């Protein structure tokens, strides 16, 4: 008798409601999208770009059964996806509406720059951004820190005593939720 150990996981629910259309899809050629042999639910297939045809409805273990269901029409929760949807993929997926947790289509997210005890202000005139947009981190050259310390970058936490590998001015990131960046001074 051959036994195999398998971990039970809760399925990821990517659908915002029960009105959707899915088609069968063979994932056997998508090994590059797999991690430990599994392609996660919510993965854009066959690629997260202009070639996208749909969103994987359930996890697929390629070696066991590469057959999948791919949503081609419906409402998909952005928060359930393993990665941000590329702009080209969004355009290609005409039948899919991506929604936030409150089921708002095409949600917008803000970037807030907090002086973190310093003086001065940094604003982002492009904020709010659409989900998945590329954000360029602003400079903090107008900020002066406590005890006349100099701005050295941005951190994701208010209590960052030193700048770690968070964000430098001109860094780029993909926005998927509201974010506050806190000034760090040296």
pLDDT at 86: 87
Residue 186 confidence (pLDDT) above 80: yes
pLDDT at 5: 58
Buried b (16+ CB within 10 A) or exposed e, 116-129: bebeeebebeebeb
Whole-structure pTM value:
0.65
pLDDT tens digits, one per residue of 86-106: 889 998 999 999 998 888 887
Residue 6 confidence (pLDDT) above 80: no
Percentage of the chain exceeding pLDDT 70 = 91
pLDDT tens digits, one per residue of 39-50: 999 999 999 999
Q: What are phi and psi of 63, to 5 degrees?
A: -65, -30
Alpha helices by DSSP H, the chain: 87-92
pLDDT at 105: 86
28 sits in the region (left: phi over 0; alpha: psi -120 to 50; else beta) called alpha
pLDDT at 127: 92
Residue 62 confidence (pLDDT) above 50: yes
């Amino acid at each position: 008798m051959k036994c195999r150990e398998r971990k039970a996981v809760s399925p990821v629910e990517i659908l915002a409601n029960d009105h959707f259309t899915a088609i069968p899809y063979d994932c056997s050629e998508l090994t590059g999208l797999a991690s430990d042999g599994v392609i996660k639910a919510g993965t854009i297939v066959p690629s997260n770009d202009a070639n996208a045809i749909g969103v994987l409805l359930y996890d697929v273990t390629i070696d066991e059964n590469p057959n999948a269901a791919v949503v081609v029409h419906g409402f998909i929760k952005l928060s359930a996806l393993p990665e941000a949807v590329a702009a080209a993929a969004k355009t290609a997926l005409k039948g899919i509406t991506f929604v936030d947790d409150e089921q708002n289509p095409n949600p917008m997210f803000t970037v807030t720059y907090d002086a973190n005890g310093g003086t001065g202000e940094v604003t982002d005139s492009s904020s709010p951004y659409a989900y998945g947009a590329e954000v360029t981190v602003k400079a903090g050259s107008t900020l002066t820190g406590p005890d006349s310390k100099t701005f050295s970058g941005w951190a994701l936490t208010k209590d960052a005593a030193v700048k770690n590998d968070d964000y430098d001015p001109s860094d780029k990131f993909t926005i998927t939720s509201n974010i506050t960046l806190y000034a760090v001074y040296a």
